[in-house]
Structure 1
Amino acid sequence: SKTVLDFMHNIFHVGLICHFFTTVIFKSYMLSSVRGINSPKQRFETIINAIRWPSHITRPPKNLGKNQSLKKADEWRHILPIAPIILWWAWKDDNNDIPLGEPMIPPNAKSVPDHSRNYHGIYSTILKLCAGVRILALRTISMAQAHIGQDFILQYCRDLKKLRIHTTINHHLARHYLKFIKLFGPVYGWWLFAFERFNGMLEKVKHNGHDGGRMELTLMRSWVMTHLIFEYLLALPEDDNNLEKGYIDMIIRTEARENRGGMMSDLAVY
């Protein structure tokens, strides 16, 4: 009851978005392969593979309809904003509308879902999830906006129950962001994307694995050196020459290529 709820894990990594796609979409056979190249599954994969992602962000794997396991929260984070478009494209009928019926269950299905698989009902839920997450993840947010975002999450959870879709503890926890935003401000300031990125940086540090504090000392030295280099770049004089600027640009480009992900996405905003 005294622990701050992490938005990254609760919403993106193993939370609401992961649950929606893995349980509600993929495991419930919402992407039928009937009709071959014009099937919902094929259209879903086609539009996913055709997206041209910005170079600084984590890109989801190709053929998401088949390769349905995203390992990073950042991958789920970038799938959500385009979810209404890619699902509309996959499900739309000849009139470009979301149909009211349910897709066929494959004859070789390992398990038959016992919840509603109505296209229109499920599409309505993802719209509310997208709206709620979009508002709650704002970098600047008022309490009035937080109330609206929280209400969309509540509506999303209620709609899942109406469709008889099983929910998890993450859905319950996601109903309590108002008090955390009131206490600590925008979730952008305290979610764990930056800390996960720092963990990734430390994992790449080469060390000999010796105990007795040697490995820890190597990690600390690398960490301090990285910050000192960053501070050095920030402290360059205003009259720095073109050669110095060129070196900085080269370092930034190299870092962007090697470290595409959540940190680079956030830095790119500024």
Structure 2
Amino acid sequence: MCKVCGFADHSKSEGFCTHCHIPHADLKTEQAMMYDESDKAREEFFKTNSTQWFELARLKYFDPVRMMIIDPMHNILLGIVRTQWFDSWIKTNTLRKRTKTLGVPRELDQIHTYLDAFEMPPWEARLPEQVGYPAGGSLTSDEWKGLALVFCPIIIPLIWEEWSPKNQEQNKKDLQNWDKREKARLNQIAKGKGTKKDAEPSAKPVERMHPDDAKNFLHLTAALKLILGRSIHNDNVKPNHHYLTHIFDQLHDYGPVYGFWTFLFKRLNKVLKSYTTNNHGNGKIEVTFFHAFMRDISLRTLVCCTRIHPSN
């Protein structure tokens, strides 16, 4: 989007969204989840911050704000769903890995146990056995879709039902210990015996597993099912969450998402990556891709014709 139409990238403080003028500083506010398309605000923005020149602007009918599509696959599956799983649960240790010393299984391992017995529908991608661990690798768009809309809506409530009470009990003990340490610190300061370490209080323990997280995730998956995910916890809000508010205009302009999301391109990229390039460069790699691709097409055509006309 940035290279073709001259828009700013995600890191810019202004103009990171291709459809409206919200500044990056307001990304985690309620305003970011509300879509206001007032002509006056748009005119004021373009007077102050115009986009860079690009060749497609020569076309009188081309409207870059409306015709630059936000791909739902990248926005929802590789954006929002990945953020919820990886940034909100894995990186924060909400779903913990097994212990390093004794290898005691915890939440993530419990998910793997469920995954072993879980039968995914044949039209959904099968998740890696070690999903969440480095050995599980990066998930594809199909795998993120299966995780968000099939697997997790069933498994996540079970995980929270089993592990959340233990977490709340541990958090209660941590808070009691923190209160004791804080009282001791304040007493030391009151007696004039405080040290530099006593100048600032230690971090107050917070709940690792929020009691409502499973329920909120079900709300999210239901919203994603209908492409209505507007209300999201602001701790991990990224540009993809805001882009989702503009998907509805695209549905009105271009029809169902199946007509314009980029699953086909992802599939072709995977096919091209499987070809051996022999470290070609300087334009030769494109020719290698083309030859290998055409060879596959010819082979498939030959096999198909042999099945249809075996006598020939």
Q: Report TM bin, short chain.
A: 0.5 to 0.7
Q: Percent of counterpart pairs with the same letter?
A: 22
Q: Offset of 1:233 from its aligned partner?
A: 6.0
Question: Which of 168, 174, 179 matches 2:244?
Answer: 174
Question: Which of 23, 33, 46 matches 2:87?
Answer: 23
Gaps of 5+ in 1: 136-148, 245-270
Gaps of 5+ in 2: 1-17, 19-63, 175-202
Q: Hey, what's the Cα distance between the residues in 1 that align with 2:92 and 2:169?
A: 10
Q: Hey, what's the Cα distance between the residues in 1 that align with 2:271 and 2:145?
A: 20
Q: 1:64 corresponds to which residue?
A: 131
Decide which moves more: 82-91 or 214-223. 214-223
Q: Contact between 2:157 and 2:215, CA under 8 Å: does it hold in 1?
A: no
Provide the aligned C-alpha RMSD in A.
Answer: 4.0
1:145-224 alignment, distance < 5 Å: 149-150=227-228, 153-155=229-231, 157=232, 160-161=233-234, 165-211=235-281, 213-224=283-294
Q: Contact between 1:28 and 1:117, CA under 8 Å: does it hold in 2?
A: no
Amino acid at match of 2:291: R
Q: Offset of 1:134 from its aligned partner?
A: 2.4
Task: Flag the 1:56–1:176 CA change in 2: closer, same or farther, 3 A.
Answer: closer
Q: Offset of 1:117 from its aligned partner?
A: 4.3
Q: Does residue 88 in structure 1 map to residue 157 in structure 2?
A: yes
Q: SS at 2:111's partner residue?
A: helix
Q: Offset of 1:10 from its aligned partner?
A: 1.4
Task: Flag the 1:63–1:202 CA change in 2: closer, same or farther, 3 A.
Answer: closer
Task: Flag the 1:124–1:55 CA change in 2: closer, same or farther, 3 A.
Answer: closer
Q: Hey, what's the Cα distance between the residues in 1 that align with 2:242 and 2:130?
A: 32
Number of aligned residue pairs? 212
Q: Does residue 118 in structure 1 map to residue 210 in structure 2?
A: yes
Task: Flag the 1:207–1:44 CA change in 2: closer, same or farther, 3 A.
Answer: closer
Amino acid at match of 1:223: F
1:73-112 alignment, distance < 5 Å: 73-80=141-148, 81-92=150-161, 102=168, 104=170
Q: Hey, what's the Cα distance between the residues in 2 that align with 1:190 and 1:114?
A: 42
TM-score, normalisation: structure 2: 0.55
Q: 1:130 corresponds to which residue?
A: 221
For 1:98-122, what per-residue CA distance to the aligned partner results, in whole angstroms no more than 9, with x for missing partners?
A: 86x8474698xxx988688422x21
Q: Contact between 1:28 and 1:113, CA under 8 Å: does it hold in 2?
A: no
Task: Flag the 1:40–1:103 CA change in 2: closer, same or farther, 3 A.
Answer: farther
Q: Contact between 2:80 and 2:240, CA under 8 Å: does it hold in 1?
A: yes
Q: 1:46 corresponds to which residue?
A: 113
Task: Flag the 1:235–1:134 CA change in 2: closer, same or farther, 3 A.
Answer: farther
